[in-house]
């Protein structure tokens, strides 16, 4: 796939009722407008180029972390690199089938933002570029500076910084030590990451940082 610099991400709208309410935000000025999660390795166990819904397995703590955000009326979305499409290993239909399974297990999600391009396609959406984060924020009406991105590798954190959002890294065995050292915040698990996202003292960066690691 020859994406070109103007290529756009795929956006999938979530189920009705998935967009956050304003009750919490109305009385807590420092709460995030939205929290965006990386998919593979963060919300679900990483299965490379997975197009099989039966192989979807939620990461520990994912359901509890998402439930807390939804109980506070904060919209949650997913931002995911899926270069298997560009590599002709995945189809749009398979991506949607996997998302449907994740939505049944962990949803509802307000938006799914997917980059279908490869590392050499020159798109602006593939993390560590900011395009997925910005597209998800635009769809939700969320301010990037009041959005938190939670992921497991450096490119998730770099995409957050490049978009002017906040980032929380939840390391896994696949996370590089340099990515942990470069992260603005780290958390041992997803519930802790959400607690950090809700902490009023956790502010958005003033400038983009280093690009960090790559993603599938």
Which among 33, 40, 156, 182 is annotated as catalytic? 40
Residue burial 45-61, b: 16+ Cβ < 10 Å; e: rest: bbeeebbebeebeebeb
Q: Is residue 30 annotated as a catalytic residue, yes or no?
A: no
Coil, helix or strand for 34?
strand
Which among 29, 33, 38, 46 is annotated as catalytic? 38
Token pair belonging to 181: 């050292």
Handedness of CA 129, 133, 136, 139 (dihedral sign): negative
Query: Are 152 and 171 a contacting pair, CB within 8 Å?
Result: yes
Query: Who contacts 161 (Cβ-Cβ below 8 Å, separation ≥6)?
Result: 167, 184, 205, 207, 208, 209
Token pair belonging to 189: 């698990």
How far apart, in whole angstroms, are the C-alpha atoms of residue 88 and residue 194?
A: 35
How far apart, in whole angstroms, are the C-alpha atoms of residue 130 and residue 137?
A: 11
How far apart, in whole angstroms, are the C-alpha atoms of residue 124 and residue 127?
A: 8
Q: Is residue 214 annotated as a catalytic residue, yes or no?
A: no
Residue 164 has, within 13 A of its CA and on its CB side, a CA count of 9
- For the annotated catalytic residues, the residue numbers are 38, 40
């Amino acid at each position: 796939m020859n994406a070109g610099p103007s290529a756009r991400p795929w956006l999938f709208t979530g189920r009705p009722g998935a967009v956050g309410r304003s009750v919490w935000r109305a009385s807590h000025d420092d709460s995030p407008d939205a929290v965006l999660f990386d998919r593979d390795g963060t919300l679900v166990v990483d299965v490379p180029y997975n197009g099989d819904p039966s192989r979807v397995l939620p990461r520990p703590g994912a359901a509890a972390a998402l439930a807390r955000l939804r109980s506070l009326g904060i919209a949650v979305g997913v931002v995911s690199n899926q270069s298997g499409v560009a590599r002709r290993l995945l189809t749009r239909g398979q991506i949607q089938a996997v998302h449907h399974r994740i939505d049944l297990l962990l949803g509802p999600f307000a938006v799914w933002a997917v980059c279908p391009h490869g590392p050499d396609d020159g798109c602006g959406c593939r993390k560590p570029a900011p395009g997925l984060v910005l597209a998800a924020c635009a769809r939700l009406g969320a301010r990037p500076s009041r959005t938190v991105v939670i992921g497991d590798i450096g490119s998730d954190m770099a995409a957050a910084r490049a978009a002017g959002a906040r980032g929380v890294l939840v390391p896994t065995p696949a996370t590089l030590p340099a990515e942990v050292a470069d992260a603005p915040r780290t958390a041992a698990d997803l519930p802790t990451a959400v607690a950090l996202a809700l902490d009023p003292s956790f502010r958005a960066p003033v400038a983009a940082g280093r690009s960090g690691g790559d993603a599938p």
